[in-house]
Amino acid sequence: MFTHVVMFKLKDKADCEETVAKLRSLEGKVPSLRQIEVGQDVLQSGRSFDIVLITKFDDLAGMQAYQTDPNHVTVVEHMHRVAETAVAVDYEG
């Protein structure tokens, strides 16, 4: 398995609910996407990010196909509008 994790800090927390829904909308729409989990932070501590996205693929090639899938590209456009910053970790296993 190949796992892709992204954490987002939004410009405006009011966009959290819509953004979580957009991320979850990818489920079942991208052939190489095997699993998706989206969570919204509840503690809101000083070091917290607002949203986490955890996606799983069979391999790196599957994740690369996801990156260019039109459904994902649409969500990325939304994320560029609402996210202040994002950090990612990608790993095999």
Which CATH number does the domain housing residue 21 bear?
Answer: 3.30.70.100
Question: What's the confidence (pLDDT) of residue 12?
Answer: 97
Phi, psi of 91 (to 5 degrees): -150, 155
Question: What's the confidence (pLDDT) of residue 34?
Answer: 98
Which residues of the chain fall short of a pLDDT of 70?
none
Host domain of residue 58: 2-92
Number of domains in the chain: 1
Question: What's the confidence (pLDDT) of residue 93?
Answer: 82
pTM: 0.95
